[in-house]
Amino acid sequence: MFERFTAEARAVVTNAQIEARSLHHDHIGTEHVLLALLTDPAGPVARSTGLDADTVRADILQRIGGHTQDGPVVSDADAEDAAALKAIGIDLAAVREAIEANFGAGALRLPRPAKKRGLFSKIYAGSNHIPFTNRNKKVLELSLREALRLKQKFIAPEHIMLGLLREGHGLAMLIMADRGVDFDRVRADLERSVGATAA
């Protein structure tokens, strides 16, 4: 599938990993892909959504914070839960602080699983490999389906955004919905943009 990615689409995948690292997250979620899509303020995703990377980054930090060695692992599903709880007045950061004040720092941290031995553990040993969430893997798969639906043999950043919209869940979608992004208009804009690229 990755052989179909344009240089710009490959840059989105690379930049999503960079964004995850810069936020000290140990996963690459839909929010990181959205940040990577917004790297170019004059690009089609930024133009059609009206969003910018700094605003989205601030929204991510407000919702789930940054991951440190003492902090929790946060997935798209965890972020959705945190946002839902925040909507009814429960602040997970405050709950976490109260628990750690009573039971000690790191009380919520689960023990690390034993390291697996084998070929892949040797390949990734010492590397800073950050995995994609399952939802984000689905977004990349849907970007291929969007390209095929539009009868295009390449995957551009617009297709990745169309895949994100088609998947319809995750922190990126929550942030865009909260920011009032018109998903139907964005979809139409991106289809026009990628159609003009193909012509």
Residue 119's pLDDT is 41
Q: What is the pLDDT of residue 17?
A: 92
pLDDT of residue 25: 87
In the prediction, which pLDDT does 176 show? 95
Beta bridge pairs of residue 155: 5
Spell out the residues 6+ positions from residue 41 whose beta carbon is closer than 8 angstroms to its own: 52, 53
Torsion of CA 161, 59, 15, 6, to 10 degrees: 10
The pLDDT value given to residue 69: 39
Q: Which residue has the tokens 């996963």?
A: 27
> If you ran DSSP here, which 8-state letter would residue 51 be given?
-
CA–CA separation, 187 and 108 (whole Å): 41
Structure confidence at residue 4 (pLDDT): 84
pLDDT at residue 198, as a whole number: 61
* Residue range 104-139, pLDDT digits in tens: 666 555 454 445 554 444 434 445 678 999 999 999
Give the residues of the chain that fall short of pLDDT 70. Answer: 1-2, 66-82, 92, 96, 100, 102-128, 197-199
Please give the domain boundaries of the chain with CATH numbers for all domains: 2-80+131-198 (1.10.1780.10)
Residue 116: Cβ-neighbour burial (10 angstroms; 0-12, 13-18, 19+): exposed
Q: Residue 124 CB: number of other CB atoms within 10 A?
A: 12
d(CA 156, CA 192): 13
DSSP alpha helix (H) spans, the chain? 7-22, 30-37, 44-49, 53-64, 76-87, 92-103, 119-124, 134-149, 157-167, 171-178, 183-198
